[in-house]
Structure 1
Amino acid sequence: PNGKVKVLTGKFNGGRYLSPNDLVILPDGMIYFSDPRYVGDEKEEQDQMAVYRYNPADGSVKLAIGADQVEKPNGIALSPDGATLYVAENNNTPNGRMTLNAFTIHGDGSLGPKKVIVDFGAEAGIDGMTIDVQGNIYAAVRSTNRFGIVIYTASGLELAYIPTETLPTNCCFGTGAEANVLYVTAGGGLYRIMMNVAGFHPATAPLTKGGWVALFDGESANGWTPRGRADRLEAVNGELHLFSTANVWVVSDMQMADFEVEAEVKLPEQSASKDDHFNSGLGFRLFGETEKPKGYQCEIERESAGKNGGVYGIGLGGWLFPKGAKQTTAMREKNRGLFRDDKWNKFRVRAVGTRIQTWINGRLVSDL
C-alpha cells in the first residue's frame, strides 16, 4: 500500500449511494456490496436499497439485487466454491422482512433467483456474516430473545449458537496463524474465539484449485488426531491402523471446502457378537471442537447391515440416504455383495456445494 485512497465508485446512474454497508471481494477482484439506509438525514439519490456489482476490469457498476428481491440488504458473503452469494435482509421498519438468502452466481456475475434459507419472521435478523472453509455461514443475529453468532449450513440448517453479552454487529476470521480465530464485534467490545475450522477469505483465495493431496504419508499417523480415547493409532506396513474399545473419531488436520476424497478400507475380523456390524464411517464437513461433531458420514459397516455408502446426518436428523425401510431394502438388494468384509474396499466421496455423492468399489451408491 502506498498510503493513498482511491474511490472505486461513489455513484450509480448519476446518484450517490445511500450508505454502502458490507461487501465481499471475489478472487477475480469482482466486488458485490450492499447499499441500505439505516441512519442519516442526507438527501437520498437512489430510489431503492440494493446490492451492486463492481467490475475492477473497467470500473463499471451494475445492479445485482433490487429491492423487489431484498428489501434492505445488509451482510453479504460468498461460498467457498464461488457459486453462491449470501445476502442478509434486515428491514427494521414495521413489518419489514428479516431473512437470509442465497443467490446462484452465473458466469457473467449476474445472479439467479432468490432462495430464502432462513426466515426470522418477526424477530430481528442478521447484521454482518462470514464463511468458513467448509461453507458454513457465521451470522451476527440480533434477535431480541436470542442474539449472538449463529452458525448455519449452506442450506440454512442451524449447526451451533454462540451467545454474546450484547447485540453483535459482525464477525470474521483471522488469517495466517489466526485462521482458526473468529473475531466478533458486539456492543462496545471486540472478542475472539478459537474455532476448530479455518475461515474462508475469497479475496485471497486461489483462482484455480485442483490436484490430489495425500492425507496419509504411509509411514506415520502424522496429520491425524484422535478425538476420544484411542488405544493405538499407528502406521503398519503402509496402512493406518486404529485400535480402540470405545467410540472414537480420528480427524485429519486437512481442512477442505468442496472436495473429492478416496480411501481404501478393510474391516477387522468379525467378533462372536451377533450385533457386530462394526458401525463406522468417513465423516466430512464436520463441525464442533470436542466430542461428537455435527456433519455428514459416509457409512462403513459390515456387508450384512446393508447401508455401506449411505449418508448419515450426525446431529442433523439421522439418515439422509437411505430413508425408511423401503429405501433401505432397495439399497440392500441393489448393492448386495458390493462391499467385501474380508478385503480392501475403495470408498469415494465427492461434496460440491450442497450435492453429496458416494461410491463403493466404483459403483455410485448415494447422490443427494
Structure 2
Amino acid sequence: MSCVKPSIYDQRDARFRALIHPNAQLQQIGQGFEWAEGPAWFPAAQMLLFSDIPAHRMIRWTAQTGCSIFREDSGYSNGNTRDPQGRLLTCHHGLRAVTRTEADGSLTTLASHADGKRLNSPNDVVVKSDGSVWFSDPTYGILSDLEGYKADPEQPGSHVWRIPPEGGAAVAVCRDFAQPNGLCFSPDERLLYIAESGASHDAAVPPVIRVYDVTGEGLANGREFARIDAGLPDGIRCDGNGNLWSSAADGVHVFAPDGTLLGKILVPEVVANLCFGGPRGNRLFITATSSLYMLAVDACAAGWPG
C-alpha cells in the first residue's frame, strides 16, 4: 500500500469541506490491473469486488488479505452491484448479459436479449428497492476484442433498460443516449442519474450527466444535471445527502443536488468508477486505470448500510 501525499483536493464551493478530511491520504491499495472498473462493496463479507475488464477477471479486496482473484473467466465483466438480498449482480461485455450470482456460486442470467435481439454489452447496473434491475447497454464491449468480442450491434441503439422486480423481459426506459454509462438513483429513488460517455468516440457528444424523474416503471423529464470539464463521466454514485460523485479524467468530481460542482478529489490516473464502503461506509473506493485507491471521506452511500 502506498499513499499519494501531495494535495488531492480542488475545492470549488464551501460545502465541499464538509465531505472531506483535509489530512486524509489517498491510498493506493491495489495495482497492476489492465482497466479496473465496477467496484461494489459487500458489508456482510467486508469485501470489495471489482472488474479488471481486459484481463477477463474479477478481483476481491479485503483489509486483511488485500487483492486476490475472485473469478477467472469473468465474461469480461464490467459494472457490479449488490441487490437487496446481498447478491452480486454483474454486467458482462463478453456474455452480453446481466447476471446474478446465487448463494451457491451459480450464475442466473437476468437479461441477454431484448426485443428478440442480443444486447450490445451491458455496462452498469443498479437495483431499486422494489427489486427492479436497471442497466445501461452501450456498445463498448463489441467495438473490439479488447474488452469483449467484436461484433455488429443487433440493437438499434444504446439504451437504458429495466427488468421488473418479478423478472421477465427487459424494457427500454431511455433511448436518447449515444453511449449510456454509469447509473445511480437519488437517495429517495425519485431521480435516476445517467452518465453520457459517447465523447469517448465522438467529440460532438457532450460529456454530461443527465437526470430523469422516475415515474413508476419508466423515466420522464430528462435534463442536463452536470457537465464534466475533464474527460467524460463514467461511474457515478450518490451519497446519503444526495450529492453526486462522478468519475472523470482528473479524479472524482463531487456535485451538490442542485448540480453545483463542489470540488474534486484529484487522482493520478484516469478514474473509471467508485463506490462507498468500509466498516462504517465512509471509505471511498476508486477504480482508476491500473490501480485501486481508497480515501476516508465524510460521506456514506444512500441507505447505508442497507
TM over 0.5: yes
**1:257-272 to 2 correspondence within 5 Å?**
none
User: Which letter does structure 2 place at the counterpart of 1:61?
Assistant: A
> Which residue of structure 1 lines up, in the alignment, with residue 206 of structure 2?
97
> Which residue of structure 2 lines up, in the alignment, with residue 31 of structure 1?
133
Residue 60 of structure 1 deviates from its aligned partner by 2.6
**1:1-368 to 2 correspondence within 5 Å?**
1-38=103-140, 39-40=143-144, 41-66=150-175, 69-91=176-198, 92=200, 93-106=202-215, 108-120=216-228, 124-142=231-249, 147-174=250-277, 177-200=279-302, 205=306
Task: Report the TM-score when normalising by structure 2.
Answer: 0.61
Query: Highest Rg: 1 or 2?
Result: 1
Q: Secondary structure at the match of 2:195?
A: strand
Task: Flag structure 1 segments of 5+ consecutive residues without an equivalent.
Answer: 206-368
Q: Relative CO higher for 1 or 2, CA cutoff 8 Å, sep ≥ 6?
A: 2
Return structure 1 stretches of 4+ with deviation > 6 angstroms: none
Q: Secondary structure at the match of 1:77?
A: strand
Q: Distance in 2 between matches of 1:10 and 1:188?
A: 29
Q: Distance in 2 between matches of 1:133 and 1:166?
A: 27
Residue 71 of structure 1 deviates from its aligned partner by 1.9
User: Which letter does structure 1 place at the counterpart of 2:252?
Assistant: I
Query: Retained in 2: the 8 A contact 1:184–1:191?
Result: yes
User: Which letter does structure 2 place at the counterpart of 1:151?
Assistant: V
Residue 201 of structure 1 deviates from its aligned partner by 5.4
Q: Distance in 2 between matches of 1:130 and 1:98?
A: 17
> Which residue of structure 2 lines up, in the alignment, with residue 229 of structure 1?
none
The structure that is strand-richer by fraction is 2
Residue 81 of structure 1 deviates from its aligned partner by 0.6
Using the aligned pairs only, state the percent identity.
27
Q: Distance in 2 between matches of 1:44 and 1:21?
A: 15
Q: Secondary structure at the match of 1:56?
A: coil
Q: Secondary structure at the match of 1:127?
A: coil
* RMSD (Å), alpha carbons: 1.7
Residue 70 of structure 1 deviates from its aligned partner by 2.0
Task: Report the TM-score when normalising by structure 1.
Answer: 0.51
User: Which letter does structure 2 place at the counterpart of 1:154?
Assistant: P
Residue 159 of structure 1 deviates from its aligned partner by 1.3
Q: Distance in 2 between matches of 1:150 and 1:13?
A: 36
Query: Retained in 2: the 8 A contact 1:90–1:124?
Result: no
Q: Distance in 2 between matches of 1:201 and 1:37?
A: 32
Q: Distance in 1 between matches of 2:161 and 2:286?
A: 26
Query: Retained in 2: the 8 A contact 1:36–1:72?
Result: yes
Q: Distance in 1 between matches of 2:116 and 2:109?
A: 15
Q: Distance in 1 between matches of 2:166 and 2:180?
A: 25
